[in-house]
Structure 1
Amino acid sequence: MATEPASSTAQLIDDLCGNFAVWAPELAAPPTPGAVLAGGCNHYLQILESPRQVWVARIARNALRTSEQRTLEASVHSEAAGAGIAPEVRYCDPRRGITIMEYLEPDDSDAESPEEIAKLFGKIHALPLQGEVLHSPDAFRRCRKDAAGDTALETLLQHGAEAIDRAVKFLEDHESSDLKMCHNDLLGANRLRSRGHLFALDWEYAASGDPFFDLAVCASQMTSNNARALLKAYLQREPMDEEKQRFAAQSLLYACVEACWYSANAAHGPETQASLDRLATHSHGDALL
């Protein structure tokens, strides 16, 4: 469970319940605020319940996201919901960073196979392209600038500079022309099994881009065997050498982006240290490059 909301967040929840006719006109009475859910660094999540329906109110904590970025997120999320791979959006106010969506009851078993996750990626990448293109080398440069001053991180990046430079050069020299709509944050916390199906949550970083970066983000939490199985299942064949190189390069770039993001956005703790450990492993284990 998350901590209790700040007064401003509590007021927003009260306003949403009081103005329920705007987003739930079928109700005869206001919904009741329920349990506070774990929402990560960027969002506050709380259940809103009525006798017959349950929703999740999500309130953005990241003040750096613009209204335009949140509008894009809502658009992609709605497309995904229409494709049956995301919860239905009931109400969205991009200016205030508020989204109300259906609550998906988790299944008793949340076991996933690389093959099942690959099928979810196939559905995500079939969504229509929207927004600007995300290039992982550019994302790394931006995140590194944001994390400037973190000596432990900079030491790791300098030690792995040869492998990182090689990965950046490969991706810039072999820029993918096969752009897809990507989630870009499909980690375990953003996948949910409900009603026997796998859903993708939190579309905040969705953008058009290289699907291999999308796969690399997810694979960062997998064993090497499962990561290879994910790539094979996604391609529905054995990957070619250039595809192996692309996947390895994107995996290293994501490790860089992740470590820089934690440095800039989160207090030093277990997750921050884990991201540094993953970066160290990737920057010294780039055999496929």
Structure 2
Amino acid sequence: MATSLPHAIQLKLEQALGQWRQWQCEPALDGAPLIERILAGGHSNWSVLVGTMGRQFVVRVDGVNPAANGINRQHEWTILQSAAEAALAPVPRYFNPDLGVLVCDYLPPEPEQRVDLQALACLLREIHRLPVRHHRLDLAARLASYDKQIQRENLQAWVLLQPHREAVARQFQVCAAEEGPSVLCHNDLLQANRLYSGGTLYALDWEYAANASPWHELAVVVHGDDLTEPQATEVLQYYLQRDATAEEWLRLQRHGYVYRYLELAWYLAQERELLDEEALAYRTTRLTEVYRELSA
């Protein structure tokens, strides 16, 4: 964990704290919050804990242009407001797209961040009940963007993807053809983006939220968290409120294969010095395993 902020991030943070009168707080703040500690930092963004009047907030500052990763901060802000009203996310207090800053309430984490599959399925169901938006997850565009970037910047990585590109394209077409009505999805609801606070399970980091297939969302959770088959069965039972059919399992596998490819392509599109050989090998292996299961 970094102990200091890059100079550019520090300047943006100070500007956001200087605009504390514009934060949407009840009761209104009577002074600028003070920096308490850095919560997370990296290439994409930095999160800093600040506090005043016995209240704490998380200030997130963009490290790179979010549009480079297909992220629309205005859509995120609008969706986050709806999610917070439904008690599914921390309450947003301030948004400044010019600074690349978002401020939300800080949710103190419980000491034990357990994995409760029933609570997870319930959270998914509640998210999918939120109002749909005009913004839709465009997986085809995202895949094409990653492919183009990797082909241009990392030929070795491009070669690594070749055995799967045609198969993924076929499965993606099947997924698109069988897709029903879309719902509002978080689209990145991995365990790292879920938090128990005060006995409630919340969803964090809504930057990829958009209208999408609920089966893509389920595939992200099942494959992103490496759930076992019994665990996946339990999640589907709680989510569907019945046993999943054979066709539904096949649909989950198809979306899982597309997700695993997307996960690997995203990783390969990062700067080379950020890549880890062990993590790369793991993602490659899991993609191959899902393809074998789908082809069996």
Q: Does 1:15 align with 2:9?
A: no
Match of 2:48 in 1: 46
Indicate if the aligned counterparts of 2:66 and 2:72 stay in contact, CA closer than 8 A. no
SS for the counterpart of 1:131 is: coil
Indicate if the aligned counterparts of 1:212 and 1:250 stay in contact, CA closer than 8 A. yes
Indicate if the aligned counterparts of 1:43 and 1:59 stay in contact, CA closer than 8 A. yes
Amino acid of the structure 1 residue aligned with 2:13: I
CA 275–52 in structure 1, closer or farther in 2 if over 3 Å, else same: same
1:242 Cα shift?
2.1
Indicate if the aligned counterparts of 1:80 and 1:127 stay in contact, CA closer than 8 A. yes
Amino acid of the structure 2 residue aligned with 1:14: E
SS for the counterpart of 1:253 is: helix
Match of 1:127 in 2: 130
Match of 1:36 in 2: 38
Q: Distance in 2 between matches of 1:3 and 1:272?
A: 28
Match of 1:222 in 2: 226
Q: Distance in 2 between matches of 1:263 and 1:9?
A: 26
Amino acid of the structure 1 residue aligned with 2:275: H
Which of 102, 113, 118 in structure 1 is aligned with 2:116?
A: 113
**Which of structures 1 and 2 has the larger relative contact order (alpha carbons within 8 angstroms, sep 6+)?**
1
SS for the counterpart of 2:188 is: coil
CA 2–271 in structure 1, closer or farther in 2 if over 3 Å, else same: farther
- What are structure 2's unaligned runs of at least 5 residues? none
Amino acid of the structure 1 residue aligned with 2:129: A
Match of 2:287 in 1: 279
1:31 Cα shift?
1.4
Query: In the comparison of the two structures, how many residue pairs are matched?
Result: 287
Q: Does 1:257 align with 2:262?
A: yes
Indicate if the aligned counterparts of 2:42 and 2:63 stay in contact, CA closer than 8 A. no
Indicate if the aligned counterparts of 1:135 and 1:210 stay in contact, CA closer than 8 A. no
Which of 67, 72, 96 in structure 2 is aligned with 1:69?
A: 72
Amino acid of the structure 2 residue aligned with 1:102: D
Please list the CA deviations of residues 27-55 of structure 1 after superposition, one character each: whole Å capped at 9, or x if unmatched. Answer: 33321111101255422100111141000
Amino acid of the structure 2 residue aligned with 1:173: A
Q: Does 1:160 align with 2:164?
A: yes
Which of 190, 193, 196 in structure 1 is aligned with 2:196?
A: 193
TM-score when normalising by structure 1: 0.90
Match of 2:57 in 1: 55
Q: Distance in 2 between matches of 1:3 and 1:274?
A: 30
Please list the CA deviations of residues 187-245 of structure 1 after superposition, one character each: whole Å capped at 9, or x if unmatched. Answer: 11111110101100111111101011011111122233222322222111111222111
1:286 Cα shift?
1.6
My pick for the range that moved more, 262-271 or 76-85, is: 262-271
Match of 2:238 in 1: 233
1:134 Cα shift?
2.0
CA 140–242 in structure 1, closer or farther in 2 if over 3 Å, else same: farther
Indicate if the aligned counterparts of 1:115 and 1:233 stay in contact, CA closer than 8 A. yes
